[in-house]
Homo-oligomer: A and B are copies of this chain.
Amino acid sequence: MNGPVEEKETGRIEAFSDGVFAIAITLLILEIRVPHLPAESGPSALGAALAGLWPSYVAFLTSFLTIFIMWANHHAIFRLVCRSDARFLYTNGLLLLLVTFVPFPTAILAEYLERPAAPAAAAFYAGTFVVISVAYWLLWQAAIDGRRLLRSHVTEEMIADFTKSYRLGLPGYLIATGAAFVNVFASIGICAALAGLWIAVSRHG
């Protein structure tokens, strides 16, 4: 239970988490299906079919951006942490469960974005990120609780800054989920904007 051994333990949690994030983000492409055209179709028909896949591209881009930022975020938490305990390990597992789930609502969104069922698809999509926001909050609480897992150089100010930025996620995604029933693109736009906001914040952080 001395320093170097604990260091190694966090290292393997990070390696496993990196693997899960990397696979989930790469599997997204499998949801963009090759269009099947009649044998004699010419180049312009294929061009039109590729352009017609835009709902898949929108879903792919938004999900990629969101998973990438979740990874950067995860990375930022682990830079502050040098130990692990059972609560932190299993809260991290809950987060990874939700990360591996993301390709499924992404596929639902791509399939139904242009159809009458789009509001349910967008609400399911944004709703997934509501649950993920809660999981991040739980992981962050597990990381800072009693300061037992934190590196010694972490100040109370750094903790307060992180806590503040996490407060954006949950209400933001709740609004995106509600917006799905008013305007589907507003809902997706809020999800993308939250990702962009996070980048802007981290750029100055």
Cα distance, A123 to B50, chains bound together (Å): 12
Q: Of B15, B30, B46, which contacts A120 at CB under 8 A? A: B46
Contact A64 B100 (CB under 8 A): yes
Tell me the number of copies of this protein: 4
Q: Which of B50, B117, B123, B203 contacts A37 (CB 8 A)?
A: B117
**B120 A47 Cβ-Cβ under 8 A:** yes
Q: Is the interface of A mostly helix, strand, loop or mixed?
A: helix
Q: Looking at the complex, which one of B22, B72, B120, B181 makes contact with A50 (CB distance below 8 Å)?
A: B120
Chain B residue at smallest Cβ distance from A116:
B42
Tell me how far the C-beta of A89 lies from the nearest C-beta in chain B, rounded to whole angstroms: 6
Residues of B within 8 A of A40 (CB): 115-116
Find out whether the CB atom of B16 lies under 8 angstroms from the CB atom of A100: no
A148 within 8 A of B: no
Complex CA distance for A32 and B97, rounded to whole angstroms = 14
Tell yes or no: A68 within 8 A of B by CB. Answer: yes
Binding site for B on A (CB under 8 A): 5, 8-9, 12-16, 18-30, 32, 34, 36-37, 39-47, 50, 60-61, 64, 68, 71-72, 75, 78-79, 86-87, 89-90, 93, 96-97, 100-101, 103-104, 107-108, 111-112, 115-121, 123-124, 181, 199, 202-203
Nearest 4 A-B pairs (CB), nearest first? Answer: A19-B22, A43-B120, A46-B117, A23-B26
